[in-house]
Amino acid sequence: MEIARPQGNPAVNAEVENSKPVSLSGLHKDLPSTLEVRQGKDTGRGLYARDRLVVGSILFATRPHVSVLSTPQLESYCSYCCSAAPSQGLKRCTRCRKIWYCNATCQNADWAEHKHECSALQRWQANAPSPDLSIPSDAIRCLGRILWGIQRTGLDSIWTREFSGMQSHRSSLPPSAFESHTHLAHSVVRYLGISSPAELAPFGLASAGDLVDLISRFTTNTFTLTSPSLTPVGICISPTMALVNHSCEPNVVMVFPHTPNALSSQEPLMHLIVIREISPGDQVFVSYVDTSVPRDLRQKELKETYNFVCHCSLCIRQTEVDPRTAMSCPKSCGGICPLPTEENDVTQCVKCKAVVTSAGAVLDAVRVGNEGLQKAISLQVKDPAKAKQLTSNLIPIITSAGLTPSAHPLLAMTRLHLELLLSAIATSISQDVLDEAIRTSAKYNEGLSNVLPYGHPVRAIAVAELGKLLAVDEPSPRHISSLDESTQFTQPAQSQSTPSGPTRLKLALETLIRAREELNIAFGKGTGGGLAGKEVREGIVRLESEIGQWTRGIRNAIEDARAAGKIAK
């Protein structure tokens, strides 16, 4: 993982021409012939296309060197294949009693790694000051597996050489990072049960400095491990995926589709999917951060986590207004305005040039929204009811200030509110909560459509989520005969109504069909959209059958009425 450079910039194109192919020396065998690694003077090392790469194609798939689940997910996912718990439940390791597996096959496959981890977990638990701290963090457990992997495969193995070849920013770490790295190093040493520097040698570490360097390499190259629906479930390390550099306007995405027919021994498989067409000679870029947030937040996270300033095409592009920092025209002409800032509170509509006279109120709403968002996030797990009350109160305030659905913090707040509603539906469903979830999901989709490209996995999953909500059986359906509400619903900014009955089913089917098309791009056409695509296809079949039965029932009723002479033929 290295610094991003602007795409389409003549200087960068010249740098690409002057870059040199890098010999892989037998490493990264999962890379296809359509890609090559090149080294540029200023652009650093990166992956480049040899051929034209079309949208939806799978560049390659690889199993991470190491993957670990986050502590809250240990009892819900298999620690080997990272699949969700099967219907019969997971099997727990009888020794450490902290790690769970799908079955004996996954447990046996993981034993080479877990046998060291098992003892370390028991030792950590015995010395934990409280039950809440009886399991080390996912970072500590991941670093433990990396070091045991180095010890098991040897210092000259391909596995170790690939890991050692990853980028490290140790020499340029800011002072603020040293404290966290040092603390993590001490925790890892305690987790491994090491009592003297000499015991670091089998792991290829000659000093404490080498351990800090390893930790820097780890923090710079860690990927989020996700479920097929993009729920974060842990972290992983893949040296081959780490060859892909960053852009806030990526042409590829990294996902875990969990292909329905894949063997558990192959999972979790990381797939690199094309979401924007790539020409021969173009560099392949993935995003390390959430690209739906404004530039300043992206830059802040990139600097703090990866220690570089992004100069990608999106970050350097000069535009009148970014939809991530936009508000509606005060005269409602259909145009948008840049959000006012503390440095510049004078803003006007880019279409009709109407000046925003309530800049102070907008700034207050944005400030309150940002503060409330962070508080609601902190409450999401420990007090979801309070978090939901907070988002319910704040969304109308931010919306009334004029922020567009794609603007921050409204888009993030809408997503959080939707997650809280979905949790509420999972425990107890009512018509009002279901309708609110549908309206919120529609608003979230509207916002995403302005900041993410067609076929982006976040956008594809959001469309699928809306389709599934529309397909849920209504607890108290309101029968609507007109299709007008369906039309209004596709424009949620202008309507707070939700369709009901057959109209809702028809809209659900249309939405799931659209989701299927986007999922095929987002998770790769070769995987059929992965597990998420499989679920959507099954939903489409069910809806088509249900709508067909309803249509046949109406037709039969009409024919019976005609036969009885109750209506004219």
Q: Does residue 97 register a pLDDT over 50?
A: yes
pLDDT surpassing 60 at residue 226: yes
pLDDT at 458 over 70: yes
d(CA 522, CA 255): 8
Model confidence pLDDT, tens digit, residues 365-392: 999 999 999 999 999 999 999 999 999 9
Q: Report the alpha-carbon distance of residue 274 to residue 250 in Å, rounded.
A: 9
- pLDDT score recorded for residue 558: 74
Residues 300-326 have a mean pLDDT of 92
Q: How confident is the model at residue 569 (pLDDT cuts 50, 70, 90)?
A: low
Q: Decide which of 549 and 403 is more confident.
A: 403
Tell me what pLDDT residue 292 has.
97
Q: For residue 426, what are its two tokens? A: 């999972």
Report the range out of 239-253, 492-506, 539-553 with the highest average pLDDT.
Answer: 239-253
Counting beta carbons within 10 angstroms of the beta carbon of residue 94, is it exposed (0 to 12), middle (13 to 18) or buried (19 or more)?
A: exposed
Indicate the pLDDT class of residue 179, thresholds 50, 70 and 90. confident
Q: How confident is the model at residue 566 (pLDDT cuts 50, 70, 90)?
A: low
Stretch 434-459: mean pLDDT: 97
The residue with greater pLDDT, 540 or 168, is 540
Residue 8 is predicted with a pLDDT of 44
Residues contacting 402, CB < 8 A, separation 6+: 327, 328, 330, 337, 356, 358, 362
Banded model confidence at residue 568, pLDDT cuts 50, 70, 90: low
pLDDT at 7: 46
**Residue 41 banded pLDDT, cuts 50, 70, 90:** confident
Nearest to 152 by CA among 192, 203, 105: 203
User: What torsion, rounded to 10 degrees, do the Cα atoms 371, 374, 376, 377 define?
Assistant: 170
Residues whose CB falls within 8 Å of the CB of residue 107, separated by 6 or more in sequence, listed in order: 80, 91, 93, 101, 114
The pLDDT score that the predictor gives to residue 209 is 83
pLDDT > 90: percent of the chain: 76
- How far apart CA 477 and CA 479 sit, in angstroms, is 6
**DSSP-derived secondary structure for 336-375:** EEEPP-SS----B-TTT-PBPS-HHHHHHHHHHHHHHHHH
DSSP SS3 for 85: coil
pLDDT, mean over the chain: 90
The single-letter code of the amino acid at 60 is F
When pLDDT is averaged across residues 285-306 and rounded to a whole number, the result is 95
Looking at per-residue pLDDT, the higher value among 474 and 566 belongs to 474
Amino acid (one-letter) located at 413: M
Dump pLDDT digits (tens) for 386-409.
999 999 999 999 999 999 999 999
Is the pLDDT at 469 greater than 70, yes or no?
yes
Task: Compute the distance between CA of residue 289 and CA of residue 247 in angstroms, rounded to an integer.
Answer: 9
271 within 8 A of 253, measured Cβ to Cβ: no
How far is CA 179 from its chain centroid?
28
pLDDT at 346: 93
Q: Are 504 and 485 in contact (CB under 8 A)?
A: no
The pLDDT value recorded for residue 1 is 62
Q: Kindly report the pTM of this predicted structure.
A: 0.91
pLDDT digits (tens, 9 = 90+) for 102-146: 999 999 999 999 999 999 999 999 999 898 899 999 999 999 999
Mean pLDDT along residues 321-340: 96
Confidence of residue 4 (pLDDT cuts 50, 70, 90): low
Confidence band for 212, pLDDT divided at 50, 70 and 90: confident
- Give the percent of the chain with pLDDT over 70: 90
Mean pLDDT score, 324-344:
96
Asked if the model's pLDDT at residue 11 lies above 50, the reply is no
pLDDT of 482 reads: 41
Residue 500: pLDDT band (50, 70, 90) is: confident
